[in-house]
Structure 1
Amino acid sequence: MDTIESMRIFIAVAGQKSFTAGAKQLGISTNLASKHVRQLETRLNAQLFHRTTRRVTLSDTGVAYFDRCVLLIDQFDELEGIVQERQSELAGPIRITAPTGFGAGELVEAIVPFQRAHPKVAINLYLSDQNVDILNGGFDLAIRFGPLQSSTLIARKLLTMPLVVFASPDYISNYGEPAHPSALSTHNCLLQTSSADPEHWEFTLQGKVEKFCVGGSFTANSPRAVVNMAVGGLGIGRCPFYAAEPFLKSGKLILLFEDKITSEFNLYAVYPSARHLTARIRALIDHLVTVLG
């Protein structure tokens, strides 16, 4: 087996604290991941993990080996990048993590032309609505909505979009359209719990930003879930424009308080400050800035 590949798999398993999750992140079987790690342990004559039925944790030797593995893999990728910069064709893997809804839709659509242009670049996309540890998870790149929380990461802004408020024509017909943000307290509001302050919505009134308390019978950590519930006529939702855009265009949703919208979302490409960007990763980020921006 390829030792470099075994080290990548070891990093993923250590980051996820699970053979199953680590294998899923890399798009391989759990058995193959276990086989690679066993090969490393045999080669080193050392136990890298403490294993239980529920999870795996690094042994003391494993912790020391993990730190050096991350450094060596980064150096290996940097070496590959130097060679690729002298070649006309990009090649090699890019491991990306991104939010589920945006990653499965808009991000994949943006990546399609990149992969057509660079067929030897292998994209490994891991979707999660949790902030995955990029370094320990073995990722080259994360796509994240702001605000960013870690100063150890480097971020490049891909786009800025507004948070929009909307409801279906059926909901408006049944319950009326709120004439002022203060009236939202009398409506069933659909809350996106992954936002910074889901129970308070901001609006600009007479040049001043004000917050209004909202609540309702439905909460979700996915903007698309909020949008789909609003399309069903169950309430008034708020989420990033990209999720609601198709339904606003088709007339299934109506934009509310358009002249009072103030909140915005930034989307970033994020990577560890200590990690060298290979030619293929730089090319992908440049491509996403162009396509999404």
Structure 2
Amino acid sequence: MDTIDGMRTFVAVAGQRSFTGGAGQLGISTKLASKYVRQLEEHLGAQLFNRTTRTVTLTDTGTAYLERCLPLLDQFDELEGLVQERQSELAGPIRITAPTGFGSRELVAALHPFQKAHSKVTFDIRLSDQHVAIIEEGFDLAIRFGALKDSSLMARKLMDMRLVVIASPKYLSEYGEPRHPSALETHNCLIQLTSADPYNWKFRVDGEIVSFPVDGPFHANSPRAIAHMAVDGAGIGICPHYAVKPFLEDGTLQVLFEAEEATVITLYAVYPPGRHLTARIRALINHLAEAFRA
């Protein structure tokens, strides 16, 4: 057994609290992950996990070993990155988590030219609209919108994006177009549950930021779901511009209150603190910043 492989498997299983989850993170079988950890324990002469039929937890020795494994693996990755930089060739895996809607289209489109240029770099993309603990789950990079909840993480701004209020011509012809944000209270509003304050929308009125209460029978945790509901005439929604851009271009949606827009959301590349970025990850962040600025 290669000790580095054993350490990486141990860290993945510890982060996922599961051999199956750890194996999935590394792209290997559960049987192989179990074998690597068992061989590592035999090599060390110590038990790293308490195992039951339902749970996997660290022993005291396992906890101490994990604390020392992480910086050692970071240094190993740094060493590999240094060699890659000198060879001017990027290689190796990058694990990324991103929001489902943005990740499945805009992020993938931005990654494609990078991978074409660096064929030895491999991507493992995990899309989720829930907050993901990137350190515990072994991600190299997270792509996130909005204010960062964990101040211990490092972040690089990639771009700003408008948050736009949208509706379909079909809805507006049936229910009328609101002329002032206060009128939204009388309309069916589509509620995006993952936004910071889904039931209060902010607008710039007479030079001040004002919140207006909204509600409606449709709720979703995805901006693209809100966009599609708006296209079907279900109500008025508020979404990041990327989610509605195709519908604005073909006229199936239109923007309301453009002059009163008050919210811009920022897209960040987020990564663990205290970690020397490998050449491939640093190059990818630079590429994404350039791609999204364009």
1:24 is displaced (CA, Å) by: 3.0
1:198 is displaced (CA, Å) by: 0.7
Give the equivalent residue in structure 1 for 2:202. 202
Q: Structure 2: any 5+ residue segments left out of the alignment?
A: none
Deviations 1:130-158 (A, max 9, x none): 22222222221111112012221111000
Give the equivalent residue in structure 2 for 1:68. 68
Indicate the SS of the match to 1:136. coil
Give the equivalent residue in structure 1 for 2:43. 43
Indicate the SS of the match to 2:38. helix
The more displaced of 147-156 and 42-51 is 42-51
1:42 is displaced (CA, Å) by: 2.9
CA distance in 2 between partners of 1:25 and 1:240 (Å): 30
1:23 is displaced (CA, Å) by: 2.9
Across the aligned residues of Structure 1 and Structure 2, the Cα RMSD in angstroms comes to: 1.6
Give the equivalent residue in structure 2 for 1:144. 144
2:267 alignment partner AA:
L
Deviations 1:192-230 (A, max 9, x none): 111111110000112111100011112122111111111
Give the equivalent residue in structure 1 for 2:282. 282
1:69 is displaced (CA, Å) by: 1.4
CA distance in 2 between partners of 1:173 and 1:23 (Å): 54
CA distance in 2 between partners of 1:101 and 1:195 (Å): 14
The more displaced of 218-227 and 53-62 is 53-62
CA distance in 2 between partners of 1:31 and 1:127 (Å): 26
Q: Please show how residues 15-164 of structure 1 align to structure 2 within 5 Å.
A: 15-164=15-164
CA distance in 1 between partners of 2:54 and 2:195 (Å): 31
CA distance in 1 between partners of 2:57 and 2:254 (Å): 50
CA distance in 2 between partners of 1:51 and 1:206 (Å): 62
2:183 alignment partner AA:
A
Cα gap change, 1:173/1:282 in structure 2, threshold over 3 Å: closer, same or farther? same
CA distance in 2 between partners of 1:149 and 1:240 (Å): 19
Give the equivalent residue in structure 2 for 1:6. 6
8 A Cα contact 1:25 1:126, kept in partner: no
Q: Please show how residues 160-199 of structure 1 align to structure 2 within 5 Å.
A: 160-199=160-199
Q: Structure 1: any 5+ residue segments left out of the alignment?
A: none
1:92 alignment partner AA:
G
Q: Figure out how many residues of one structure are paired with residues of the other and give that number.
A: 293
If the length of structure 1 is used for normalisation, what is the TM-score?
Answer: 0.95
2:25 alignment partner AA:
Q
1:10 is displaced (CA, Å) by: 2.1
1:75 is displaced (CA, Å) by: 0.6
CA distance in 2 between partners of 1:6 and 1:228 (Å): 46
